[in-house]
Structure 1
């Protein structure tokens, strides 16, 4: 008997990258980063890209910035694997007395509170209560309480503190106005699930 051909040694690469489809895989496999480069690379910031690798009934996921920084995560891709690349843009929510409210996109790997406030045009001088800039942070895991941080921009060192305060992707920033009723309305309508179990407000630098 003569062997006409062998099973195709390919993996399937899909999603948000320059080229998708089937990729030829050497007999001994190819590392994940090398495979992505072979397909033309990913045209998005590393911190906004999630990679999922499926092999049989198992699937593992990793952020691309972690993949690039940890060689142990750069696994060997074998024939038959499926690689899914997903672009997940980061949006940071900011409300209250700022020039532009809503969800802001920060093209920075590790943005700070000062980066976000600069992106939305800073505090509204006519409305903002500078001693009441809040960052509401959800609990990271079960059993933990959410936390509300307060930054007093009436202090001389507030801008230094804000520059050192790194944001989480699910943080919500609110700049209070002189009208306290607006702050209570914001808490009641948008943040009740986040702060209902928060025991205190932490004032940064105090």
Structure 2
């Protein structure tokens, strides 16, 4: 008989003819808790170090200023006849950290600056001129920052490269400095890339789950883009098709409501399924035999039994993911009803043929009379 998808008993048999093998997982409180650990809030898991970023270090191309102080006039930099001065110090001309990573200080020579903090450079200069200057003190400061930068790209109001803040900033702080996201928050995704490693979360995960709002380090790249999240509904639901989340996350119960709920005269309440691919590690924790699967992800079919009243509580805790497929199977009696309807159509067609023949015979007899 015609139908909108596989029968309930076929899905539960885990038998497939042409498609990939899949694992069937029944929704239980334990399953829901395990799945929630692998939600889209992946930045906190990918970058677990929650310490503030390291101190900003100079790099090749940065513009540096050096000021040297002496305890009294008549030393190496401050002549005895200096007269009235604002202080016993001299400011050297600003200079770039050269391609070899050095700056030049008179009487101290070339000082390594690349990859070092101001205090480390100051100590080297003091050590180099300590025997010639009068109790020297040195202040090294960054004038133009050309290397410790953070790139913010994509769907923000002012894509740019920002200088790293010495006090440290988190992801939301940096996005705010770039003008904030252009689109609606629930349609926005944020990718953080650091040293070849990346993680992506919905923008809402940064706002509502503070653990994802991690510290940003110099050299990081933040990419903001818009991609509306959707799920697809098929089978014995009130409506079939593609439905947008219209929020940064929805649960299974909300998705069922968006799709019009289950059809009272058609749906099998124990045969509601969510199709998705899960990481192999998660599939193993769910008790799925992964030996027959190849690749980092495993096809999983989650089954909710809504004949059990408690299943609705589980559905409110089971979050949908982007591109999930929600399928409601037909009840077994639907095929019987379709068959009986087919029989009625056949009988009615036969009756119509007999009636038409009888009417033709009557018309023929009448015409002869």
Q: Same fold judged by TM-score > 0.5?
A: yes
Verify the 8 A CA contact 1:151 1:162 in the aligned structure 2. Answer: no
> What is aligned with 1:174?
327
Contact 2:172 2:213 in 1 (8 A): no
Residues 106, 119 of structure 1: 8 Å contact kept: no
- Mapped to 2, the partners of 1:104 and 1:162 lie a distance apart of 21
**Post-superposition offset of 1:29:** 4.6
In structure 2, how many angstroms separate the alpha carbons of the residues matched to 1:130 and 1:17? 46
Deviations 1:98-120 (A, max 9, x none): 23212222234552322112212
Match of 1:140 among 255, 272, 278: 278
For residues 1-206 of structure 1, what are the structure 2 equivalents within 5 Å?
2-3=93-94, 6-8=144-146, 10-27=149-166, 29-42=168-181, 43-45=183-185, 48-54=188-194, 57-63=195-201, 64-68=203-207, 69-71=209-211, 73-78=213-218, 80-125=219-264, 128-138=266-276, 140-142=278-280, 144=284, 145=288, 146-152=300-306, 157=309, 160-161=312-313, 163-169=315-321, 171-177=324-330, 178-179=334-335
Unaligned runs of 5+ in 2: 1-91, 97-143, 289-299, 337-369
| Secondary structure of the structure 2 residue equivalent to 1:2 | coil
Q: Secondary structure at the match of 1:85?
A: strand
Going from structure 1 to structure 2, the CA distance change for 1:113 and 1:162 (only over 3 Å counts) comes to farther
2:25 is matched with none
**Deviation of the 1:59 alpha carbon:** 3.2
Q: Deviations over 1:146-197 (max 9, x none)?
A: 34414345x6x378446535233164221223239xxxxxxxxxxxxxxxxx
Q: CA RMSD in A?
A: 3.4
Q: TM-score if structure 2 supplies the norm length? A: 0.39
In the comparison of the two structures, how many residue pairs are matched?
174
Who wins on radius of gyration, i.e. which is larger? 2
3-state SS, counterpart of residue 103 of structure 1? strand
Using a 3 Å threshold, how does the CA distance of structure 1 residues 45 and 123 change in structure 2: closer, same or farther? same
Does structure 2 conserve the Cα–Cα contact (< 8 Å) formed by 1:99 and 1:121?
yes
The answer to whether the 8 A contact 1:48-1:87 is kept is: yes
Unaligned runs of 5+ in 1: 181-206
Question: Which string of whole-angstrom CA distances, capped at 9 and with x for unpartnered residues, describes residues 4-57 of structure 1?
Answer: 674436432101223212334335553322111112222333685232234xx4
TM-score, normalization by structure 1: 0.64
